[in-house]
Structure 1
Amino acid sequence: MTRLTPTDAGRAARLDRLSTDGNVLMVPMDHGITMGAVQGLADIESTIDAVTRGGADAVLTQKGIAPRVHPNKNGAGYVVHLNASTTIGPDEDDKRVTGTVKEAVQAGADAVSLHLNVGSKYEPKQIEQLAAVTEQAREFGMPVLAMTYARGEGVDSTDPESLGHAVRLGEELGADLVKTGYSGDADSFERVVESTELPVLIAGGSKGTNRQTVEMVRGAMDAGASGVSMGRSIFQHERPEAIASAVSAVIHDDADVDAALDAGGFED
């Protein structure tokens, strides 16, 4: 029997803190660097408290927000994101490095994440960024979430073949989990999940109705996804704890759409 090294044991322990029985409800709230202090992020402390009370396994921010995270996350996991851009900059797809794995350790993170726009003109540089992060992360026993989106001129961001290529890229470069866009239905998303052996999380995408949000999560889970990393659909919701509870019911209790909406106290 192979004995885990201390570094491997640390990585496994941190991965456990990001999930419940292997399934993940993560709420990224790094949007403050991208969009500013939008609804749900000005008082990020209250939002973190609400979504984790609602069942979120982990929250994600940039490193500078760590002091506002830890007192309010109710024992949930914490991910530090390591690259960014802004909506008012020259090109939002041009993600630049904002931190290191060592800084994430110092900030009390259980994992780090990096965003890649696969198919964009920035893809080569972002591949190098992810390769460097996974190398650093192995030294610290730190899990890596690769946010690999199919984005770029002429790229269909919902095409299952492109999404499958994107998540496979994350695995090839040494990530532990991957996040990507949703293809739109369970049947096509199965092809994405089958492209990698890593746990696949879906992004939230554009904010929809409560039912549309829950239906998307239900479809992804039916396709074999391991959960979601869903931002604005949760943290900008007028009732963030309630929508987190509804999404959690699908991910953690295998609830159908109507039961999940009931769990959140929604009628629609």
Structure 2
Amino acid sequence: MSKLRRMNQIFASDGRAVVAALDGFVFSMRTAGIDETTTQVSQLVDAGLDAALVTYGQAQTYERELAHVTTVLRVDASADIYDSSVPDTHLFFDIKDALRIGASGVVCMTFPGTAVREATSNKMLVKLAHQSAKWGMPVIAETLPFGYPVTSSKSNDPRYIATAARLSTELGADIIKTRFTGAEADALIINNTSRPVLALGGPKTDTLTYFKFVQHCMQTGARGVAVGRNITQSRNPIGTVAALNALVHNNANADEAFAIYKKYERNSVKEG
């Protein structure tokens, strides 16, 4: 299968995507709700989910549930699972493993601006890019300047994020997954990156504020969102996905998305 066909499995016909990040088990202890959400994948797809980031173990454990959705394999993992800052990562899987489980892409982190991890994480990306050219498998670079968490003004500065995203493009990434800050200057990230950009899930905040953030990302030029805890820890994950689908694919505004979310919430109460 060609890389273009696999890209078209991740992105819908409009070139945009709502992606659920279900891969937290390999880099975080904060995994509440992931298993429960994974069992609901078919309902999330019905609500508008396009793809899911998963681990190798999930692909085996939830093979039946994940058969309903396009999957992207997380190929790296934290070197210290108990450190929430994700101090380092290593490559444990590769594109051959993704082919083995029927995934349509792979994802790994890179850390521009860090002393040692910049070089090692970028080398992981290049290794995957070389395999990608051979096997036609899209590579998503989750590019996080200065490390996994936001710890400084630079790590959440659109100028630095844009430079980091462009570096990953130059090293062979097909898709960039990175932070958006909520500022107008986020346009720099899009303008400096000649690849589709997926906005990271964003802050854990109240639902309407979160939808306003996603609206900003889409208006800035993002091609979609890759969302973890704002789906998996939502009291209404199906409604959240339906609202995100409206924001991403139908150019809905935050208020319209929130109305969709509330509709699903009311229906869930009635069914309960």
Same fold (TM over 0.5): yes
Cα distance change on mapping 1:67 and 1:37 into 2, 3 Å:
farther
SS in 2 for 1:157: helix
Q: Answer whether contact 1:110 1:142 (CA < 8 A) is retained.
A: yes
**Residue type of the partner of 1:151?**
F
The correspondence for 1:143, drawn from 138, 142, 145, is: 138
Q: Answer whether contact 1:181 1:202 (CA < 8 A) is retained.
A: yes
**Residue type of the partner of 1:19?**
F
The correspondence for 1:88, drawn from 60, 67, 82, is: 82
Kindly state the Cα deviation for residue 148 of structure 1 after the two structures are TM-superposed.
0.5
Higher mean C-alpha displacement, 147-156 vs 221-230 = 147-156
Q: Deviations over 1:78-107 (max 9, x none)?
A: 100111114415961301112011011001
Query: TM-score of the superposition, structure 1-length normalised?
Result: 0.89
**Residue type of the partner of 1:197?**
S
Kindly state the Cα deviation for residue 43 of structure 1 after the two structures are TM-superposed.
3.3
Kindly state the Cα deviation for residue 36 of structure 1 after the two structures are TM-superposed.
4.3
The yes-or-no answer on 1:62 pairing with 2:59 is no
Residue 222 of structure 2 corresponds to 225
**Residue type of the partner of 2:132?**
A
* Aligned residue pair count: 258
List aligned pairs for 1:108-187, cutoff 5 A: 108-121=102-115, 122-152=117-147, 156-185=154-183, 187=184
The correspondence for 2:247, drawn from 237, 247, 250, is: 250
Cα distance change on mapping 1:74 and 1:218 into 2, 3 Å:
farther
Q: Answer whether contact 1:51 1:235 (CA < 8 A) is retained.
A: no
**Residue type of the partner of 2:154?**
D
The yes-or-no answer on 1:200 pairing with 2:197 is yes
The yes-or-no answer on 1:261 pairing with 2:258 is yes
SS in 2 for 1:220: helix
The yes-or-no answer on 1:77 pairing with 2:74 is no
The correspondence for 2:207, drawn from 200, 206, 210, is: 210
Q: Which runs of 4+ in 1 moved over 4 A?
A: 152-155
Higher mean C-alpha displacement, 64-73 vs 246-255 = 64-73
Q: Give the distance between the partners of 1:241 and 1:98, measured in 2 at CA.
A: 32
**Residue type of the partner of 1:125?**
T
List aligned pairs for 1:9-88, cutoff 5 A: 10-20=2-12, 21-36=14-29, 38-73=31-66, 75-85=68-78, 86-88=80-82
Query: TM-score of the superposition, structure 2-length normalised?
Result: 0.88
Kindly state the Cα deviation for residue 154 of structure 1 after the two structures are TM-superposed.
5.5
**Residue type of the partner of 2:120?**
K
Query: What's the % identity of the aligned pairs?
Result: 27
Q: Give the distance between the partners of 2:131 and 2:167, measured in 1 at CA.
A: 18
Cα distance change on mapping 1:207 and 1:64 into 2, 3 Å:
same
Structure 2 unaligned blocks of 5 or more: 266-272
Kindly state the Cα deviation for residue 111 of structure 1 after the two structures are TM-superposed.
0.4
